[in-house]
Chains A and B, each alone.
Chain A
Amino acid sequence: MRKRIRPSAQLLRIGVALAAFAAAVVVALADDGNPEHRVEILLIVATAFIAAAFFYQFLRSNLELQRAVSEAEERFAELYDRAGISIWREDWSAVGAAIQDLRDAGVADIPGWFAARPEETRALHATVRINSVNWKSVELMGASSEAELVGSLADILPGSAPAFHRWIAALSAGDSSFVGESAIQRLNGEVFDCLVTAALPREGEPLTDVIICIVEITKYKRDRAELMHVRDEIARTQRIATVGALTASIAHEVNSPLAAIASNAAACVRWLERSEPDLEEVKTAVAAVIEDTHRAKAVIDRTRSYLQKAPRITEQRDIRGLIRAALQIVENEAHAHEVNLGLALNEELGSINCEPVQLQQALINLMLNGIQAMSKSRVRQLTVRATRKPPHILISIEDTGPGIAPQDLGRIFEPFYSTKDGGMGMGLSICRTIVESHCGTLTAQSSHDAGTRFLISLPDTSG
């Protein structure tokens, strides 16, 4: 960085020299030969010099401060222009004000308030203004100049609407930063995936200049999607193999006592149908039936016990992180189905002792279930809420789909029961098993044309 001597510093030095010269003149002119006056004059001059020295020091510090600020501004401008990532400066003050108004009005669940009001949310989204962007943003968006990207966020990036709910959640929760994935449309219509990060101002501070960084992650996402697909396939194959092996084992062990029961029962009928019923034989056969029934039950108990004893790897995990990670995974699917994702997480959720992969699998299954259920709905909103109500942590996943018919609602958690064409009917059953294995409950509430709400209740283990 170049160092420049500013004209004001030169002026200051000249000013100090002139002051010294003036003092010398004053001494010369005021000298009347009286030794007492001379001492007073010298004291005055000395005091003036000390004051001048302090003043000089003050002005110097001030100048150095100005220079530091100026250099920082230059550095930021250089970074802003030459950074290899896209940087956007946006005005979110209207959103901040709207959130503050709701807070003042006593609305506790602000994200939920917006999730239930799509029109108001759209209008608020339209108030966010892009003030400036760096050249990397111009390049990323395929624009010819910065001017093409300055204006209403909703107009320039209409694809930012689904992520807007997450911004509301982060701002209303007082988060210090925002990190999320989004899909953005270039000016030529091409859509790319990106990672969006922003440092959010502290509560009460203005949102007039929010600095947002955007990194394109299309290739990373594609690779990750392929990896997930492969992982899903492996998991599916493993599940099928496990279920197959388990079924074969159970079949083998249960079919034998069943065969014995069937034979003894048939024998009973025949012993009784004789012209002279042989009650001793009947008694023996019935006793055998009872014994074989116990044997069949023991097989089931043994299998259940084996499954429950399967080694579990549990760890204490932050619930907000778990939910956010699950939501990120389904974002692509939500985008493909044009579903808005809403998130309302209570600040005090804490952590939970769980098998994170399993619990996340249940959350993802429920979210995907909701997204897919809304394929024919006009309003497509999936909202995930979580709150802590000791001794429970409640997580709800709500969609605005067609709802579940009353005759199906009681059976949706049964294995192999599906209302979807080609559905295997294991998804919700597996979800409930996972939640129950965490000592929790999974229930569903639904009414015709009013969507479905899945509610997970887990024990609060955060202490």
Chain B
Amino acid sequence: MSKMPVIAIVDDDGAIRTGLSSLLRSEGYQIRLFESADAFLDSSCRAGIDLVITDIQMDGTNGLDLQEILKDRQPNLPMLVMTAFPQPDLRSRALAQGARCFMCKPFEAEELLGCIRKALTG
């Protein structure tokens, strides 16, 4: 059996981390949880991550800044961006910076899983 992809969930909202973790684990993915972008950037296990799902509005480094930093450091690392406060400029900036998907909370589980599958295979 091939190794299941490792997905990092970066969100300062504990309930979102727990919910997404349960959903993605039920699909067999391995999960790493981070309560902030800075915690993710400081993490030693960052190299083994196959996909990052990040929230935008977070204290410290926000999701879009994280995306920009990772574009330099790990340009091939696919990212999904999500927000509870969707605005057209956020969406266009995230997609322009290479986000594979821009999701507005609350979203359908199938929408997220579809995005993940597409990002991992594309």
Let me know if B120 is at the binding interface, CB within 8 A.
no
Let me know if A252 is at the binding interface, CB within 8 A.
yes
**Which of A3-11, A140-148, A281-289 is found at the contact surface with chain B?**
A281-289
B109 touches A266 (CB 8 A): yes
B85 touches A263 (CB 8 A): no
30 sampled A-B residue pairs with Cβ under 8 A? A251-B84, A252-B84, A252-B85, A256-B13, A259-B19, A259-B84, A259-B107, A262-B108, A262-B109, A263-B16, A263-B19, A263-B20, A263-B22, A263-B112, A264-B18, A264-B22, A266-B23, A266-B108, A267-B19, A267-B25, A267-B26, A270-B23, A270-B26, A270-B27, A271-B22, A274-B26, A281-B25, A285-B22, A288-B19, A288-B22
The residues of A with any CB-CB pair to B shorter than 8 Å are 248, 251-253, 255-264, 266-267, 270-271, 274, 278, 281, 284-285, 288, 291-292, 295
Q: How large is the interface on B (under 10, 10 to 19, 20 to 34, 35 or more residues)?
A: 20 to 34
A267 touches B15 (CB 8 A): no
Let me know if B105 is at the binding interface, CB within 8 A.
yes
Extra pairs beyond A256-B15, A259-B82 (15, CB < 8 Å)? A248-B85, A252-B84, A255-B104, A256-B13, A259-B16, A259-B19, A263-B109, A264-B23, A266-B109, A267-B22, A267-B23, A267-B109, A274-B26, A281-B22, A288-B15
CB neighbours (8 Å) of A255 from chain B are 84-85, 104-106
Question: A281: nearest residue on chain B (CB-CB)?
Answer: B22
- Count of A-B contacts judged by CB separation below 8 Å: 81
Among A251, A260, A267, contact of B13 (Cβ-Cβ < 8 Å): A260
Among A248, A260, A274, contact of B19 (Cβ-Cβ < 8 Å): A260
Q: How far is the CB of B28 from chain A (nearest CB, A)?
A: 10
Question: How far is B15's CA from A256's CA once the two chains are assembled, in angstroms?
Answer: 8
User: CB-defined interface of B101-115 with A at 8 Å, one 1/0 digit per residue?
Assistant: 000111111101000
User: CB-defined interface of B49-68 with A at 8 Å, one 1/0 digit per residue?
Assistant: 00000000100000000000
A260 touches B27 (CB 8 A): no
Among A256, A267, A270, A274, contact of B84 (Cβ-Cβ < 8 Å): A256
Q: How far is the CB of A5 from chain B (nearest CB, A)?
A: 94
Question: How far is B110's CA from A406's CA once the two chains are assembled, in angstroms?
Answer: 42
Known contacts being A248-B85, A288-B15, is A259 close to B106, with CB within 8 Å? yes
Q: How far is the CB of B17 from chain A (nearest CB, A)?
A: 9
Question: How far is B110's CA from A271's CA once the two chains are assembled, in angstroms?
Answer: 15
Interface centre among B19, B84, B106 (most CB of A within 10 A): B19
Among A256, A274, A281, A288, contact of B105 (Cβ-Cβ < 8 Å): A256
